[in-house]
Amino acid sequence: MKGLTEKQRNILGFIEDFMEVNMMAPTVYEIAEHFGIKTSTVFAHIRSLQKKNYLTRSSKARSISLKHPHKKNRRPAGLRSVPLFNSPEDAGTARSKNSEIFYDSSMLRNARDLKKLFAVRIGTKMGDFGMLDGDIAILKRSPESLRNGDIVLMKIDGTSQLRSCHEVEPGIMEFISGDHEKSVRSTRDGNLPVEGVVVGLQRSM
């Protein structure tokens, strides 16, 4: 990677790792979100990488293609793989894992929570809460506690659904769907069918 700045090397490494795990190129927005920089800055780095013959890109989404992909697996600092399930029903067992995605472990308060993470691709019937069909929700299994406004994946009538939880009165939690289906109530210490709480989101562009 001669002739590259440190930021360009990091961006190129992120693109390589993202493509290896997700089998598709990241969007400019995903690159910008990961590094905490503006999309205009990402475009500038990508143009430089194109001029230096490291990658190509068209105007289409996810069109980045590497000219000289490295065979050696490298992983940007902070990124860890998380099992991805293409539907919430698949998330019950590790054996049904469909693929993996990268998640920035620096977003976690406790590094031990990494082992509890899993990801689910959002479907049209899972409610919205600002999520779109095809988005990927990052969840943590077996949350120790729930807070007002938490979005959880829970089993209701045999179907996995996204619900927003709210404490409507001391000790009583109400779980509300984004598409106005019937809400569910339970005590805080009740045996809730909560499969995980949403801790992050990857937008499908």
Name which residue leads in pLDDT, 100 or 124.
100
Give the mean pLDDT of 70-84: 63
In the chain, the percentage of residues whose pLDDT exceeds 90 is 11
Residue 189 to residue 185: CA distance in whole angstroms:
12
pLDDT for residue 56: 92
- Computed over every residue of the chain, the mean pLDDT equals 77
CATH 3.90.550.10 fits 6-66, yes or no: no
Q: 35-50: per-residue pLDDT in tens? A: 889 999 999 999 999 9
Give the mean pLDDT of 154-166: 81
Residue 157 to residue 18: CA distance in whole angstroms:
36
Residue 124 to residue 108: CA distance in whole angstroms:
28
pLDDT for residue 41: 94
Residue 122 to residue 126: CA distance in whole angstroms:
7
| Short-list 50, 29, 27, CA closest to 39 | 29
* Cβ-count burial 137-161 (b if 16+ within 10 Å, e if not): bbbbeebeebeeebbbbbeeeeebb
Domain chopping of the chain, boundaries: 6-66, 82-202
Residue 194 to residue 156: CA distance in whole angstroms:
9
Helix (H, G, I), strand (E, B) or coil at 6: helix
DSSP 93-132: -GGG--EEEEEEGGG-SSGGGGGGEEEEE--TTS--TT--
pLDDT for residue 95: 45
CA dihedral over 146, 151, 153, 159, signed as positive or negative: positive
CA dihedral over 72, 74, 80, 84, signed as positive or negative: negative
Task: Show Cβ contacts of residue 69 under 8 Å, excluding neighbours closer than 6 positions.
Answer: 16, 19
Whether the CB-CB separation of 139 and 199 falls below 8 Å is answered with yes
Whether the CB-CB separation of 32 and 15 falls below 8 Å is answered with no
CATH fold, domain 82-202, is Umud Fragment, subunit A (2.10.109)
Residue 21 to residue 101: CA distance in whole angstroms:
6
Give the mean pLDDT of 84-112: 64
Name which residue leads in pLDDT, 177 or 42.
42
Identity of residue 78: G
